Structures are given as structure tokens and as C-alpha cells.
Structure 1
Amino acid sequence: MLKRAVIVVQTHLKGLGLFQGNADGAASPALEAAVLAALQRRPGDMPSGGTTFSAKRREVTLFQLICKDKGIDCDPVDGFWGPVTQEAYERLVHLLDRGTLPPLWRDDEPSDANPHSWPRDTGNQAAMKAFYGPPAAGPTGRVQVPWKLRLAWDKSQVIKHISCHAKVEASLDRVLQKVHAHYGDAELKRLRLDLFGGCYAPRKKRGGSTWSTHAWAVALDWDPERNQLKMGRDRATLDARDYDFWWHAWEAEGWVSLGRSRNFDWMHVQAARL
């Protein structure tokens, strides 16, 4: 079981007065005994033969019951860590860390709007080249940032303008103005949307063989430290209800979030379709 899940179980047992050790995620005979004692208190919630499960399976069973106690679906309670329990774990961690359950992300699907007919970034990227020209040619547009923006890797450096492709310049300006008007300076800083990871980069995609959309200066990265390439919505901070307006502002202009569309690289938003 994941260390954080074990800590959840230990904390629960300490609250019941059944476990006196540290909530450190470490296995121990004392933890096994406390888990068994807790399950014996809930015979009506247990699967048949639950108290005779292996120690590991009993621990998962108790974790599943903790999730259900918090109103998080975790059926069946069977002591096996499968996809349902993994999803319940992610929702419980969100609740513990942020005070609320995460939004039902499948109910907020990315918009299909594409008012500027951004090209698709697929195959040999012929559509990208036809629409934007050759990659790695350098930015041809420039947009003033309406709030104090800092380089994510050098926070002492303030960015007043974003260099981009001329074809996305007006759209990018509208998004930034709309976002600033909605959130304001203080909230943008609290949400770490004042940390910029860059736009133009003449390189191929990380882990891929085709050109990055950054090579056309039509992609931007935000708060890269907490929204890294391989982070999913269980870890990326840009997947939270506070950012709904942020994403909707981009999507209304046809920009695409790789996080919302593909659940990786949550820092990245691009003026190119998938």
C-alpha cells in the first residue's frame, strides 16, 4: 500500500486510541494489531472472512472503509488495491490536503471551440508548418503581461512581455486580459500563475521525435515546478477548482491544455489542436 495511505490508516487508528506509534507510513506488528482491532469493531462493514485476510489485505480493507466514511466511493470493500481504490485514494488525499473533494473532472470536459482555426499538431506536422511556417524561426509577436510575471527558475527576474508567434498574439492578449480581470494580482500570485515557464523554445518534444509547439512560439508553460511533464491530476496543482476560469479562458480561444486533454504536462497550453 502507498506510504501516504498507510499514514492515513495510522492517523485513523491513533484517533481511535488503537495505535500509539508515529504516523510515519512504516509497517509494524503494532500497526497490524491495531488494524485487526479496528476491523473487529465493524463486523457489519466487513466482507465475509475479512478478519482472516492477510495483514496487508486487512490494511487495505480498513483504508477502504476510511474512504467510505468520508463519503468517497470505494466499493467493493474487499482488501484489494485496484483502480477503484486508487481513485478513492486520490480523492481522499485531495480532501485531506485542500479541505474539499476534487471536482468531478469528467463532468468538465475541455471545450471543442476553435474560433481561430488553430491547426492540428499531428503526424508529420504538415498542418502546423502550413499555418505557422517553419519551426524554430523565432517569435514574431509580442504581448504585454497585465500582472507581475516572474521566471519560474529565476523568480527575481520579472517578465513584462511574452514573445510569441504573430498569429496567436491577439488571442493571447485577450486571454491574459480576461484572466487578470477575473483573478486580480493577489489571487494570481496565490495560485502561482505569476510563475512563467517560457514560450519560445527551438526544440523537439521531450520524449518525442517531432517539433514541440514551443518551437513555433505558440505554447506557454505555467508553474512548471508543481505541474511537471509526467504529473497527472493526482499531483498537478493546476487541476483544481480554483483554476476553472483559467482553463475556460484559454479554451474559449481554442487553446488546448495537455493536462485537461491528456492528463500530463499540466503546465502546458498551446494554440494547436490534438
Structure 2
Amino acid sequence: VEKKNYSCQAVYSLCQDILIVIDKKHNPTNWLYQVYQFALSKSFPEAIDLSVKDISDNCRKTFLLYLEFLRVISEFQKSSDYSIFQSKYPLNFLSSEEKNKLENPAEYKRFLKAFNDEYIYEMMKLSQEILNYNTLDHICGVNWIALFIGRQLYNLGLPVDLGRISGAAAGHDIGKYGCKDVETERTPYLHYYYTDMWFKKHNIFYIGHVAVNHSVWDLELENLPLESLILIYSDFRVKNVNNGPKEEM
């Protein structure tokens, strides 16, 4: 933390000795990729190439322990002054006061539980570091803009549901992780299907509706709620730009 190194690899180095004690057969080769696959299996078991049922109990314990370590370190990163997207635009959810004011907080609570139970944030962070997909950075930016706008409208007295904005912004691209390797080229189209599937699996229909409708090209043809319009605008605002050898948000 003092060195401001919040990477998945740094977290692994931090807890590696403990992992070896728990799992005597611990093999560091491609271990982070295996953790990523394990975390992904909780949301999209059909998208993984790791046989989860063949994982030993001790290995499973190390995966879960590492994910908890990564969660704690990631929380430190969100409040740091480190000049990367995940610190500048941290993926934070509603405050306790905001949650208590929601008209129907039950669905938002289900979303938060599913997001945490399935280690969604940690899975996305691993994906970005291992596979170089910066979807997490995109989601951080979209979530920041959407809540910034949503809170202003809410304070002006407009009928906007901050729970739907928060949940939809954080989960609008979750379906990208559900696409299988053979579907990679069709991810821009298929991720809507997998996003819808994830929300329905957890009985999160209203937030899911907003999340899925985040890229409607002809708005005149749809009677979309205000929450969807905010998400559409926020999604358009956060795009990759060419920065020399790689693309960045």
C-alpha cells in the first residue's frame, strides 16, 4: 500500500507464503489466471476453460483467500491518490443514507449481494491485468458520471432512482465476461444477452432493464426511463482513446 502498488500480482506476492501453507501443491504458474477463471465461474460457468469440479478443497481455499485479500487492497486503492482510472473514478456504490431513501431498496440490495458474492469487481480487475481488457476502467468511468448526474437530478427533485442508476452503471457490461472464446468477435452484440441473463438469474429485473438498454441508437423509437437516458449518455462519454502503444480510457 505504501508503494501504491495495488496490482493483482502485488497482492499475490503479499499473500503467497500463506497460500503455500494452505495448499502444499500450490503452483504459481498461471495461478492468477486460474483465480480469474474461478471467480468468473461464479457468474458465467459456461464461459470458463477451467474444470472447477476438479479443484481441490485446499486450492479452492487459496482462491477464496486471495480474492478477499484483493478486495481489501482494492478498497485502499479506491481512496488513494494514485493516478489511474480505478483511483480517480473509484467504483463506489450508494451511501447508507442514499440506500435508506430508495423507494424499493430490496432489488438494489440483491444487486450488491450478487456483485459481492460473485467477486465481480475482483474478477474484472484480474481480467484487466491478465487479459488486458480494460472493461473495469470503462465501468468505473461510466459509474462515476452516471451517479454524478443522477445525484444532481435527484437533488433537484426529479423522479430518478439512484439505486437503478448505480446498479445498472456497475453492471451494464457484465455480459462481456459471459462471452465464450468462440464468441469474442461478437462480444459487442452478445454481451447484452449475457448481461440480461445475469440480472434475471438474480431476480434483478428493473435494474437489469436499465443496464441492458444502455446503447439505444434511435431514442425517438423508445420510451426509456430517465435512468436509461443517464446511462446511455454516460456510456457514450467513456471511450477508449489511442495513447501510443495501447488504448486507454
The TM-score with structure 1 as length reference comes to: 0.27
Greater strand fraction, Structure 1 or Structure 2: 1
Considering Cα pairs closer than 8 Å and 6+ residues apart, tell me whether 1 or 2 has the greater RCO: 2
Greater helix fraction, Structure 1 or Structure 2: 2
